[in-house]
Amino acid sequence: MSSADPLCIAPMRIAVVTETYPPEINGVANTMLQLVTGLSGRGHRVLLVRPRQATDRRGRVPPGQFLVPGLPIPGYRGLRFGLPVYWRLRNLWHRLRPDVVYVATQGPLGHAALNAARRGSIPVVTGFHTQFHQYSRHYGLGLLTGPIVTTLKSFHNRSDATLVPTAALRAQLNDAGFHNVHVFSRGVDTALFDPARRSAALRRAWGCSPEDLVALYVGRIAAEKNIHVALACMEALAARFDNLRCVLVGDGPELGRLARNHPGCRFVGAKVGEDLAAHYASGDLFLFPSLTETFGNVVTEAMASGLVVNAFDYAAAHEHIRHGSNGLLAPFGNDDAFIAGVVAAVEQPTLLERIRHAARRTAETLSWSVVIEGLEEVLCELRRRRRDQEVGRPVDAVGHATSGNGV
């Protein structure tokens, strides 16, 4: 994209629509925070559209935000979905027309935003942030997997582009019939997630001596995270190594039951910010057996914190881990290999130390600023394409004006 193009220099007005945002705790909320702050920091005027949260003060709207009514999501304590406020969005975007709309979630608010943008001839980008079709298998809804994929495809193909976090997922969606799929990767905050935050006091609170190894899990305590494999791995490690301690960070519907059934593990609840960063850095091994991630931000957060990550070979782990070099990988869905690989690694203390340092070095290359710059190029290209169409310039098959420069 040419830096001389005035459309690429002028700030954009960008509407970001999401049904989850901090202080809610999940990967999508964190990514949306990085997206909003990153684009704003590059000089763009960003308006965040989200459901009102329990923490929002009545009658007060945070600057740069537009709040809509919402309802709690069943089974997801603390999370809400936005109501389909189509006409509110039409009126808002009639008064403050954005150059482009980014729709991050596929709930009622997301559908209303997509419809309002299409009706108003505003370029719209959708984000593929959650594997809803994979989740259905963990809640007795496996027969709905096909229809869910069809619904998701119909939603995303109505947008001008769909953004995914990895090249592998882009290939998967292309094969499934999704159109105009682009990679919007993920960065990691290496100032927050840092081995220097390791806390001897926190480790003592876990009952750990300096020589003990802590096997850590961070994430939702729920069936779709394949958490039973993490617990099985912890039990296998504890049975073989006397100095192994197990800590699980997170909240979710399985928390009470699993805490009762696994008294040897410490379930410490959800953590955020510097407290979360200290929990990461105070561990040694990071066990992440989920099979339902579009990316898995916790993988790169753990790497930045200097942990030895053990994960299945897909999503963020496939993108950034090289087995035995800066982490551990197991073939997708092979539980036995997942457990055996980390047990073998723990028997080699020098290997663990080498992996920890290499993981941190890898994370230091994953800058959010580079990621946001790539997203900015996609959004700018959509704005330019729409301007070309409005003035009647010829546009080629991939949407570029024939006399312009493409991304």
Residue 75 has what pLDDT?
65
- List, in sequence order, every residue forming a beta bridge with 170; answer none if it has no partner: none
Task: Tell me the range of 118-122, 139-143, 383-387 where mean pLDDT is highest.
Answer: 118-122
CA 223/CA 141 separation, integer angstroms = 13
By CB neighbour count within 10 A (0-12 exposed, 13-18 middle, 19+ buried), where does 99 fall? buried
Interval 293-310 mean pLDDT: 96
The confidence band for 142, taking pLDDT boundaries of 50, 70 and 90, is very low
Give me the mean pLDDT over the 389-399 stretch. Answer: 57
In the numeric block, the tokens 């790539």 are attached to 374
**Residue of 107, 32, 102 whose CA lies nearest to 73:** 107
Q: Is the pLDDT of residue 386 over 90?
A: no
What is the residue-averaged pLDDT of the chain?
A: 88
- Lowest-pLDDT choice from 79-83, 95-99, 166-170: 79-83
State how far the Cα of 222 lies from the Cα of 302, in Å rounded to an integer.
20
What domains does the chain contain, in order, with CATH numbers?
Answer: 6-187+367-391 (3.40.50.2000), 195-363 (3.40.50.2000)
99 pLDDT above the threshold of 90: yes
Q: Please list, residue by residue across 121-146, b when 16 or more beta carbons sit within 10 angstroms of its beta carbon and e when fewer do.
A: ebbbbbbbbbbbbbbbbeeeeeeeee
CA distance 121 to 134: 33
371-383: average pLDDT: 92
User: Distances from the Cα of 131 to the Cαs of 110, 136, 167, 251, in angstroms?
Assistant: 16, 9, 15, 19
Alpha helices, DSSP H, located in 272-367: 273-281, 297-304, 315-320, 335-346, 349-363
For residue 4, is pLDDT > 60?
Answer: no
What pLDDT, in 10s, does the model give residues 42-65?
999 999 999 999 888 887 888 999
Report pLDDT for 129. Answer: 74
**Interatomic CA distance for residues 263 and 302, integer angstroms:** 25
For residue 90 the two structure tokens come to 């039409």
User: Which of 270, 311, 266, 271 lies closest to 293 in space, CA to CA?
Assistant: 311
Round to whole Å and give the CA distance between 149 and 237.
38
pTM for the predicted model, two decimal places: 0.84
Give me the pLDDT at residue 396, please. Answer: 45
Give the pLDDT mean for 224-243.
95
The tens digit of pLDDT for each residue in 101-137 reads 999 998 899 999 999 999 999 999 999 976 443 433 4
At 149, list the tokens: 């994929």
**Mean pLDDT, residues 176-191 taken together:** 93
Q: Can you tell me the distance from the alpha carbon of 42 to that of 199, in angstroms, rounded to the nearest whole number?
A: 35
Mean pLDDT of 210-223: 94
| pLDDT of the residue at 143 | 37
What is the C-alpha separation between 113 and 50, in angstroms, rounded? 11
Question: Dihedral angle at the C-alpha atoms of 314, 337, 248, 73, nearest 10 degrees?
Answer: 50
Instruction: Report the percentage of the chain scoring pLDDT > 70.
Output: 88
- At residue 404, the pLDDT reads 33
Q: What angle do the packed helices 27-41 and 297-304 form, to 10 degrees?
A: 70
More confident residue, 223 or 149: 223
Q: Which of the pair, 95 or 403, is modelled with greater confidence? A: 95
pLDDT digits (tens, 9 = 90+) for 341-369: 999 999 999 999 999 999 999 999 999 99
pLDDT of 22 higher than 90:
yes
Q: At what angle do helices 297-304 and 349-363 cross, to 10 degrees?
A: 110
d(CA 33, CA 76): 20
How many other CB atoms sit within 10 Å of the CB of residue 329? 20
Residue 151 has pLDDT above 90, yes or no: no
**Phi and psi torsions of 59, nearest 5°:** 85, -5
